Chains A and B, each alone.
Chain A
Amino acid sequence: MSVLAFIESSNGSFKKSDLEVASYAAAVAAASNTDAIALVFNADDCSLLGTYGISKALKVSSEQFNASSYAATIESATTQEAATILVCSSSSNSKYIAPLVAASLNAAYVPNVIALPESETYPRNVFSNKGITHTKVNSERSIIGIALNTFGVHEKPTQINQVAFTLVTSSSKTQSTSTETASDKISIADADIVVSAGRGLKGSENWGMIEELAQVLGAATACSKPVSDMGWRPHSEHVGQTGKPVSCNLYIAIGISGAIQHLAGVSASKTKVVINTDPEAPFFKAADYGIVGDAFVVVPQLIEKFKAFKSENS
């Protein structure tokens, strides 16, 4: 038996989420005295994965993402390596593929896992981060989807053997025709810092200072639900229970009162700073640092302070 990690890579390099999957797979494998093997898409050099405990990389290349082809390739690797546990991330692609693999292998799919198993149960987020459940797997094989930026990356230098693996093609009629990503902006999922703003900004014309603050910090921009519903910002920036989840290291909420749905969606973030004119805003009860003040006064000053900090510390 073995533990198999599904590693997507992006243009041949590994994101933090990839290394988190490798680290988790290595820890689970170590606990059951077995090997952590990675099935890696589109990366020539997988030596970095050895640093995080992967002892064998199966390297496969695919011109474009195709869910059913990827799922079939994962099944093929699972069979070849006699893997009983498959570890994947919470990316859009992982959440697309995992149910297909689960159905095909008759394997339990346990998503949003936040830590290593204890007494044979996996702790995972439920109720949109308002609760945690401890889930027991009843099937022989299982797929563990780990929540982003929760387990973390853990070095475990290991000799890694890199071998080629064959892509299983698919007759699926679902094909990608194009992708549109904002190449100049960091995505909310990848960002260590997210600067988010709400109705307190009073209108879309006032987002210049939010974007400037994000730029200074190398952060992604996000917004509350009312802001995206009113069309001030695109839906892709809406974070919260029905929008995107956020689990970054630093979340700065500006002019967001903190409705329970918003708090649930961002609660996995490690440090939260709230700036709001209303000292009674519910977000202050869920934050680490709070500033009662007018965003139009505080944010421009913060931009200058962060700029000064960056120039001193770079």
Chain B
Amino acid sequence: MKILVCISTVPDTTSKINFKDNNTQFDTTAVQFVINPNDEFGLTRAMWFKEKTGASVDVISVGDASVEASLRKALAIGADAAIRIDSIPKDGFSVATEIAAVVQDKNYDLIIAGRESIDYNGGMVPGIIAHLLGYEFINKCTALEIEGSTVKAEREIEGGKEVLSSSLPLVIGGQKGLVEEKDLKIPNMRGIMTARSKPLEVITPQGTAELSTDITFDKPETKSNITMIPADQLDLLINHLHNDAKVI
């Protein structure tokens, strides 16, 4: 089985988000970048398939040289080869189109991407890749088992889950549940050393037009001051929630 994991590089979940250049750009000052958490669950699941079934695992990113740190980390965890499409990511549509163009003749059986990146929250890359390649598609995938070409998967729905059957080739939008948080792979020293000699191919983009453009940014309104309620005067809280907030 040939697996491809799509990796996005995003601000660490603890990052404070600020904008610059007259609110037209995300300010990366003092921001730590990490592998998108939703992609990381998929990457670890891919490693599980590699260990259990001998699958090969490639990783791909769209970005400038700075995203190579994420690709090297994936190689250190155990991926076999990495591809970087040398383009600053614009909208999700162009990212997905670039990835589809590069992988269309590589015959991957399974393509895993996160259900969304936690920066621009587009949530469209896996679905668009699936459509462009004519692959089966399961979004918000929380469990995935593969026997031969038979796929059994689960996806999150409101208030529960749906169990699905599918087949390869397949694209999933992955998230927590594919593996548990405690099972996420961390590179060891030997992995980091071997990663240095693994192939990382840089590909020139075909140059896809973006279908949407983020023009300006701002920050959500900050909360008005909190009203503190003494713990022995809970009637006050009921009163506020009923008469002021009007939520009960």
Chain B residues whose C-beta falls within 8 Å of the C-beta of A132 in the assembled complex:
217-220
**What separation, in Å, do the CA atoms of A301 and B231 have in the docked complex?**
10
Also in contact, A96 and B212, with CB within 8 A (given A235-B177, A287-B223, A289-B241): no
| B159/A137 in contact, CB under 8 A | no
Chain B residues whose C-beta falls within 8 Å of the C-beta of A96 in the assembled complex:
127, 137, 139-140, 155
**What separation, in Å, do the CA atoms of A289 and B238 have in the docked complex?**
11
| B93/A108 in contact, CB under 8 A | yes
For residue A252, give the distance in angstroms from its CB to the closest CB of chain B: 9
Closest 8 CB pairs of A and B: A99-B127, A187-B159, A181-B160, A293-B231, A103-B131, A108-B211, A108-B212, A99-B124
Asked whether any CB of chain A lies closer than 8 Å to the CB of B181, the reply is: yes
| A187/B38 in contact, CB under 8 A | no
| A177/B165 in contact, CB under 8 A | yes
Chain B residues whose C-beta falls within 8 Å of the C-beta of A189 in the assembled complex:
158-159
Also in contact, A271 and B245, with CB within 8 A (given A108-B211, A131-B219, A131-B220): yes
Q: Is the interface of A mostly helix, strand, loop or mixed?
A: mixed
Q: What is the size, in residues, of chain B's interface with A at 8 Å between Cβ atoms?
A: 85
Also in contact, A127 and B93, with CB within 8 A (given A261-B14, A292-B231): no
Against A, the Cβ 8 Å flags (1 = close, 0 = not) of B169-181 are 0100001110011
| B159/A190 in contact, CB under 8 A | yes
The stretch of A54-62, A158-166, A241-249 in contact with B is: A241-249
**What separation, in Å, do the CA atoms of A104 and B132 have in the docked complex?**
8
Q: Is the interface of B mostly helix, strand, loop or mixed?
A: mixed
**Chain A residues near B (Cβ < 8 Å):** 65, 67-68, 91-93, 95-96, 98-100, 102-104, 106-112, 121, 125-139, 142, 172-182, 185-190, 192-193, 217, 229, 235-236, 238, 241-243, 249-250, 259-261, 267, 270-274, 284-294, 297-298, 301-302, 305-306, 309, 313
Across the interface, name the chain A residue whose C-beta is closest to B159.
Answer: A187
Asked whether any CB of chain A lies closer than 8 Å to the CB of B145, the reply is: no
**What separation, in Å, do the CA atoms of A135 and B24 have in the docked complex?**
11
Chain B residues whose C-beta falls within 8 Å of the C-beta of A287 in the assembled complex:
223, 226
| A67/B137 in contact, CB under 8 A | yes
The stretch of B53-61, B72-80, B115-123, B197-205 in contact with A is: B115-123
| A92/B121 in contact, CB under 8 A | no
> What would 26 A/B residue contacts be, using CB atoms closer than 8 Å?
A96-B155, A100-B128, A125-B220, A127-B26, A127-B120, A130-B219, A131-B26, A131-B220, A135-B213, A135-B214, A139-B212, A173-B165, A174-B166, A176-B164, A179-B157, A181-B160, A181-B161, A185-B159, A190-B158, A236-B160, A249-B247, A261-B14, A290-B227, A291-B230, A291-B231, A298-B231
For residue B38, give the distance in angstroms from its CB to the closest CB of chain A: 7
Question: Which of B92, B121, B161, B227 meets A125, CB within 8 Å?
Answer: B121
| A297/B231 in contact, CB under 8 A | yes
| B211/A106 in contact, CB under 8 A | yes
Chain B residues whose C-beta falls within 8 Å of the C-beta of A270 in the assembled complex:
245, 247
| A187/B158 in contact, CB under 8 A | yes
| A242/B245 in contact, CB under 8 A | no
Chain B residues whose C-beta falls within 8 Å of the C-beta of A112 in the assembled complex:
121
Question: Which of B157, B180, B230, B245 meets A93, CB within 8 Å?
Answer: B157
**What separation, in Å, do the CA atoms of A127 and B166 have in the docked complex?**
32
Asked whether any CB of chain A lies closer than 8 Å to the CB of B190, the reply is: no
Asked whether any CB of chain A lies closer than 8 Å to the CB of B240, the reply is: yes
Question: Which of A236, A249, A272 meets B156, CB within 8 Å?
Answer: A236
Q: Which of B81-119 contact A (CB under 8 A)?
A: 91-93, 96, 115, 118-119
For residue A97, give the distance in angstroms from its CB to the closest CB of chain B: 8
For residue B63, give the distance in angstroms from its CB to the closest CB of chain A: 17
Q: Which of B133-168 contact A (CB under 8 A)?
A: 136-140, 142, 155-167
Also in contact, A92 and B17, with CB within 8 A (given A102-B124, A235-B176): no
Across the interface, name the chain B residue whose C-beta is closest to A106.
Answer: B211
Chain B residues whose C-beta falls within 8 Å of the C-beta of A108 in the assembled complex:
91, 93, 211-212
